[in-house]
Structure 1
Amino acid sequence: MVGDCRCVVAVGMCEREWADLRSGNKALAHVFATPSTGISTTPAGPNLIRSLPFIAPKKACLYIGTFNAMSTELALQLLRKEPVTRRIPANGPKQKAIVEPITRSYPQLLRDPATCGAFVHGMEDEFEAVRNNAVDALTTLSMHRVELAKVAISFFVDMFNDEAESVRLNAITSFHTLAQTQPITLSMENVKTMAMVFQDGCADVRAAAHRFIGAVRAATPTVAKQILDVLSAGIRRFPEDKLSIYACLQGFGRMNTDIVDAQLGAILKLDKRFLPKQPDIEDIEYIGRLICVLNADKDQSLKFPRFVYQHALYLQGKYPQFLPCETVRCFNYKICKSSEGL
């Protein structure tokens, strides 16, 4: 509760500071005019209006990220512009369930309009530094709050398409960090929203996106196929990214064993109605898909065409860092017993 109070005070105070700074309040200008900002303490003028407005929301986002004791209810409220509601079950058969704002549980906290959608406003702010701080704060608060992390997924994904390269990179890197502590599952809508980041002109942004995908789960087999199609398009456009994408597919296969099993034929582009055609082992797109399915075969239970076993042994010599040793050892034994088809 103490963390909630401090958060609301910080957000509310900085929101009022923002309004005052926008109107050129001289007293607040003096407060913010410190040696570290390099801004003059002289009365409000054109330079003050240009230099100061971003400071209040920037500081607010920094403050919010430090409130580790904040309740999950308040944290969720910071992501929603409308008050969070809860359903109260009926006491008897003739009574109806009641839906009421959670603000009744926190009457002095969540009623403050400053708490509604604070993160949303921060991520939509015109200043790059404010958006970056909003991403950092949301990441910190989501690290140990499963429910908040689930709700925050769509917000992080939206930031992948930010106009500023530093914000895109920060959002992807932060989301990857979050995926190390919270289970992240992507929907089809999420994948479609982030698809363009794999075509980004910045190699660092693309590499960060690859690392992120290697640490998440797909909601359905269809989503997994969409992710692989997006990565295939990326490797065709940027062949120089192949090692980064191979590492991505290695992690994605390990994270999605059951889904890869269900989509094995589609991933390797095999049709059960026909005899399998051996792909070109030098095809970088095929190599990536092969790395994905081989890493998904954790217990060596999947049944592959004979050429897959042979290709796996070839890849073990060329890209040993992307193949699990136990799989290759098992393939050495199975290669003479494999069947000609799935």
Structure 2
Amino acid sequence: MRQFEFRTRVASLELYVQLALLGARGGAETPGLVPGAALVTLVSQYIHDGHPKVRKVALDLLYALHLAGLVLGPDLYPVAVDSLKDDSEAVRFSALRLVWTLSRLHASQLVPLGKLSGTSVGSSDTIQLVNDAFVKVCDMVNDISMSVRTEACVLLGSYHNVQFSFLSQTLSKKVMSHLKRRPPLGKHHPRGSPSADSGASPGRSKRSTIPVAEGDLDVGSDEFRLLDSGACGAFVHGLEDEYREVRHAAINSIGELCLGSAEFAKLAVDYLVDIFNDEIDYVRLNAIQSLSKVADHHTIVLDGEQLQIIFGVMEDADPKIRRAIHHLLGSVRVQNQACIATVVETLTRSVVRHSSDQLSIYRCLGQLGSRHSDLVDTSLVERLLKLEKQFLTREFSQDDGVYTAHMALIFNAAAAKPS
């Protein structure tokens, strides 16, 4: 019966691969089974099978062969990329993993840009496979399936060796003109000229030339090329996704990529701070902790607008989130003295409102003082301790939590100042 034929192909393919792998591990050749390289070729033929379950199994088996130590060549990459457009969610999910695997194995391999990116450029235009794969994975963040979008966001965090021009596009919704090549002088041919279209006669080419106004760009010519829009705003879409799993995965990947690039970290701060207002507790907590990890590796400077968002989260009902905010504030720098004065004022109010957070707040203010010794000057100290030259100072109570908080800031700032 035809409805059972695909199950036969699936079972046969899986059994064949298992027997081949068992034979290879035992060091003995099994009669009727092909060796390693031929096995990869055989399995890859089933990626084009008529049934989605067979296509999925073929992709999964190729990944299993990679884990077993067999070499997957770069010639599989175009096939895996084509599978990303499959109608089946399961096939796209498996293809995504295979594309990622091949981009790790052959990162510096040059692939033709026109063939893989869907443009009309010549085969002489190439791009590193890792960059092209990054764009393809970014494009899957817009997939209709939540599981595929989540997996795409997860995989993006491992692309540490991708070019920054591609990486920065993930946080921008402006399509980038990339790999723009100007033809050599004396060899410029407008679209429709004999040199541009070798199959057309000179007379026909002249009539088909489309004039372009001075100052404009002919987007159909080889001079101007838009990068495949897959990378454009990929993380923005991930952070705005309706499913918490996708947002959570996007935050993790942004944090991972920030650790390897200080430039990307500066771009990502605004987006991570915006997620502090997410409706899901663990998503908010993840965003705060991710930015804290980034601040431990790179210098992160927060402005007044970002601090206002953080102050709102400081009143969260969850003590874990409040203490995560304290840790974050102790790990970053602020723009100016007005900002640090506002931070201190907000934290001291929190000492009174949340007495259980006192130790966390004191630790935060101590770290804040150490990082901002240049901003904690005499005028700020006098303001915090209410010192006025024309009046005698009143002795503060040692049990005053606000006084203790101020002293934690001042003492640590003084200790960090150069002697």
Report the TM-score when normalising by structure 1.
0.68
Q: Which residue of 2 aligns with 1:280?
A: 397
1:11 aligns with 2:141: no
> In the alignment, is residue 127 of structure 1 matched against residue 243 of structure 2?
yes
Report the counterpart of residue 253 of structure 2 in structure 1. Answer: 137
In the other structure, the counterpart of 1:231 is: 347
In the TM superposition, residue 267 of structure 1 has moved relative to its aligned partner by 3.0
1:220 — aligned with what?
336
Contact 2:136 2:231 in 1 (8 A): no
Distance verdict in 2 for CA 1:220–1:14, change over 3 Å: closer
SS of the residue 1:207 aligns to: helix
User: Offset of 1:144 from its aligned partner?
Assistant: 2.2
Structure 2 vs 1, CA of residues 14 and 238 (structure 1 numbering), >3 Å: closer, same or farther? closer
Query: 292, 296, 313: which one pairs with 1:180?
Result: 296
State the alpha-carbon separation in 2 of the partners of residues 191 and 133 from structure 1.
25
Amino acid at match of 1:55: S
- Indicate whether 1:270 and 2:387 are aligned: yes
Q: Aligned pair 1:292/2:403, yes or no?
A: no
The answer to whether the 8 A contact 1:2-1:69 is kept is: no
Instruction: Render the CA deviation track for 1:104-127: whole Å, top value 9, x for unaligned.
Output: xxx87x622221111111111111
**1:159 correspondence with 2:286:** no
* 1:60 aligned onto 2:157: no
Task: Give the Å deviation of 1:300.
Answer: 6.7
- Measured after TM superposition, the shift of residue 264 of structure 1 is 2.0
1:1-342 correspondence to structure 2 within 5 Å: 1-15=128-142, 18-19=143-144, 53-83=145-175, 111-261=227-377, 263-298=380-415
SS in 1 for 2:313: helix
Q: Measure, in 2, the Cα distance between the counterparts of 1:203 and 1:190.
A: 21
Structure 1 residues 192, 85: closer, same or farther in 2, change over 3 A? farther
Q: How far 1:14 sits from its partner (Å)?
A: 4.8
Question: Per the alignment, do residues 272 and 70 of structure 1 end up closer, same or farther by CA in structure 2, a change over 3 Å counting?
Answer: farther
Hey, what's the Cα distance between the residues in 1 that align with 2:238 and 2:368? 31
- CA distance in structure 2 between the aligned counterparts of 1:157 and 1:245, rounded to whole angstroms: 20
The answer as to whether partners of 2:149 and 2:246 remain within 8 angstroms in 1 is: yes
Counterpart code for 1:58: T
Structure showing greater relative contact order (alpha-carbon pairs closer than 8 Å, 6 or more residues apart): 1
For the pair shown, the structure with the greater C-alpha radius of gyration is 2
Amino acid at match of 2:129: V
Separation in 2, partners of 1:240, 1:247: 13
Conservation of the 8 A alpha-carbon contact between 1:66 and 1:137: yes
Q: Which amino acid aligns with 1:264?
A: V
Give the share of equivalent positions with the same residue, in percent.
31
Mapped contact 1:77–1:116 kept (Cα < 8 A): yes
Cα distance change of structure 1 residues 56 and 292 upon mapping to structure 2, 3 Å threshold = same
Measured after TM superposition, the shift of residue 84 of structure 1 is 5.4
Q: Deviations over 1:185-238 (max 9, x none)?
A: 111111011111111100111111111111111110001011112212221211
Q: Tell me the equivalent position of 2:104.
A: none
Report the AA paired with residue 343 of structure 2. Answer: I
Equivalent-residue separation in structure 2 for 1:163 and 1:156 (angstroms): 14
Q: 1:71 to 1:288 in 2, by over 3 A?
A: same
Q: How far apart are residue 83 of structure 1 and its match?
A: 3.3
**Structure 1: stretches of 5+ with no match in the other structure:** 20-52, 87-97, 101-106, 303-342
Q: Write the distance in 2 (CA, Å) between the matches of 1:171 and 1:272.
A: 45
- Give the partner amino acid of 2:147: I
For residue 278 of structure 1, report the CA deviation from its aligned partner.
Answer: 2.3
Distance verdict in 2 for CA 1:273–1:217, change over 3 Å = farther
Which secondary structure state, in structure 2, belongs to the residue aligned with residue 163 of structure 1?
coil
Structure 1 window deviating more from structure 2 (265-274 vs 160-169): it is: 265-274
Structure 2 Cα separation of the partners of residues 155 and 220 of structure 1: 22
Question: Alignment length, in residue pairs?
Answer: 250
Shift in Å at residue 272 of structure 1? 4.3
Q: TM-score, normalised by structure 2?
A: 0.56
Q: Is the 8 A contact 2:160 2:260 kept in 1?
A: no
